[in-house]
Chains A and B, each alone.
Chain A
């Protein structure tokens, strides 16, 4: 069974640009969560999608957005990039509801210059 796949693995963008990251969850998983990992702030929850609906949202500005498609694949978008957006972005998928385990992808390393 394939794991969580995140693409691309590495990205370099310029301040002011926008970026889209992709996450393909494990087959059958309907929940996808996104996290930002930085040396200063650690791991912070961005948002969770379940069956194409945002179910939870962390404390990030509106420049950070996401969506989920009918096949459960998810994308997150960051507009008007800032230097501080440089981070490892991790995606995690899990089955619907109940007591489940979240499986993480290897992440996308975004560098903003």
Chain B
């Protein structure tokens, strides 16, 4: 069975500081990995995904994540955060249907709080 562990439930950080949100997964088969962001009273928005190829993936708003198969990790990083990055971040995994995401397994989430 697959599982996802997000090691930190809350991460407070000051504006313009770097941040890393940690995610480890467990799976006996090849996986596809995702990071989603959820703002208050909103649904989930896809931030970035790893399907194959380069292990370093980037989003349009400065986040990046690196797939590390040996450590079964997919940590999310940003070199300099903004107040607007305050949200809850979810790591997710799936192995079905070539990444169709019909069945995502989510971590418990990490609340990122950016302080001025």
Contacts and interface: CB of A to CB of B under 8 A. Distances in A.
B90 interface: yes
Contacts of B98: 97-99
Interface residues of A, number: 28
Contacts of B67: none
B41 A100 contact: no
Interface in A94-111: 94, 96-107
Contact of A43 (B42, B97, B101, B106): B106
A42 interface: yes
Contact of A100 (B92, B100, B105): B100
Interface in B38-61: 41-46, 49, 51
A88 to B, nearest CB: 9
Contacts of A55: 102
Contacts of A106: 41-43
B108 A105 contact: no
Contact of A48 (B43, B44, B99, B102): B102
A33 B94 CA distance: 13
